[in-house]
Every structure is written in structure tokens, then in C-alpha cells.
Amino acid sequence: MRQGHYTIRFSETAPDIRAAQRLRGLCFLPRDHGSDRTDHGEALDSDAHDEICRHVLIEDKQSGTLVCCFRILPLSCGSEIARSYSAQYYNLSSLAGYDGKLIEMGRFCIHPEWHDPDILRVAWAALADYVETEGVELLFGCSSFIGTDPGAYADAFAMLRERHLAPKRWLPRVKAPQVFRFARALRLRRADSRKALAAMPPLLRSYLAMGGWVSDHAVVDQQLNTLHVFTGLEISAIPPARKRLLRGSPG
């Protein structure tokens, strides 16, 4: 798939996956992280889920530079959700009875030296193509905030509590040992919308604009130095006026 200045493709070889892990390492891991490294000392972000996922690579046409990547895990129905990365951190038993096809989107990152907003649009276009082709009904994953201090994102979490909590029938329960229960802790706080939106990760903003919802708590991930919330998006619930966002259209 080609769009604008970029080429989008699935990984085909071990070096392709290695390139994705290298970009993820650049985006997610501190320089002194003691994880897997290349011979040149570059940190690689890798885990067991890399072997069971499909990896999407977005490259600059002219230079061939990998500017964005993410991975997807297709699931035939909710009974397979225990295989997902998210299930390590959230009790997802409420989704075990989901009848339709699901995909988990994870490890989304954009090269820190590339600031073209079209990259995010292209990523959504690629995902939309897959969703439509495969008949996916629910898209989910973990949306991450940089750092582990909840106070830095008080307005963002307050807005999530006010407007974007998951429906009760799908609400994930606590599983991780360290969490921030923002729906409980911030029940009396009124969100400053401007500050909240400024603090939201771009990917999460896109989910929410299309009707996505989140867990009522954030997991504190000390290893990756992030706070993340479980995020779900039911494809059938996307308002018609918003579907152009999933297809990667400008606006």
C-alpha cells in the first residue's frame, strides 16, 4: 500500500522485525536500559508477543527510513483475548464473550525525528484497510502516557473519567500490581479541556474522536516508564462523520 510519501507493508523477514524492534527501542527505552541490544549498542524493544503478531511498517518512499511501526494480533472472538498483550495487565474476562472478530494494536510508535502529521493518518488508513478486509468488529490495545506520575496528567485522566469510560459490560477490572484508579481518585475533579487534550497521546485522541473508550484505571509500567489505559473501539459504533478518521482522511 502506498499513500503520499509513504509505503505501508507487513514485515516479511527477521530483519524487518528487527528494524521495528530497533525503532521501538529508540522510542520506548531509556539509553541505559539493560534489554537486548544490537552489536552497535542500540536498544531493542522485544517480547514474546512479537512472534505471534503481524508487524506493520511505514517507510519513507524516498529514503526507505522506517518512520512508524505497530503490531496487530488478530483474534477470532473474545474467547481468545487471554492471548493478548493487554491481558497481562488487565482482567479482560468481561470481553471473553465478545462474539465478533477483534484485533489488538500495540507498540505503536513514530520516529522521534519525524514530525509529519500525515504519518498518523497513513497508519490509520492501513489499519482501516485491514479492519474492513477482515471484518473486524473491535479494535483494542493499551494507550500510553510518558512517565509514571499521574499528577502530570490529572486533567487528561479527569476527562477520561467524565466522558470516555468503557461501557459497564466491557469494563476491564484491575489485574496489575500497581495501578492508578483515576475514576475513583478524580471523581470530584472537573477537567480543564484544553489542558486535558494537550496532555493526551495523539493515538488516544484519535481513538476517542471515533467513540473509543478506556478502562477506569491506568497501569503503572515502571519498565517502560509509562502509564497506560486499556482502550477499545467498536467499529460499528463509529459515527459516520468520524469514519473518515479511521480511513486516514485529512480533517
Domain positions in the chain: 72-246
pLDDT value, residue 47: 95
What is the percentage of the chain residues whose pLDDT exceeds 90?
Answer: 80
Confidence check: pLDDT of 35 > 60: no
pLDDT value, residue 244: 65
**Pairing verdict, β 66-75 and 101-110:** antiparallel
Nearest-CA neighbor of 45 among 251, 205, 223?
223
The three cell numbers locating residue 118: 500525515
Q: How far apart are CA 223 and CA 211, in angstroms?
A: 30
Confidence check: pLDDT of 36 > 90: no
pLDDT value, residue 37: 45
Confidence check: pLDDT of 41 > 80: no
Q: How confident is the model at residue 39 (pLDDT cuts 50, 70, 90)?
A: very low
Average pLDDT for 158-174: 97
* pTM of the shown model: 0.90
Nearest-CA neighbor of 157 among 203, 108, 206, 192?
192
pLDDT value, residue 4: 83
pLDDT value, residue 54: 97
Q: How far apart are CA 100 and CA 78, in angstroms?
A: 7
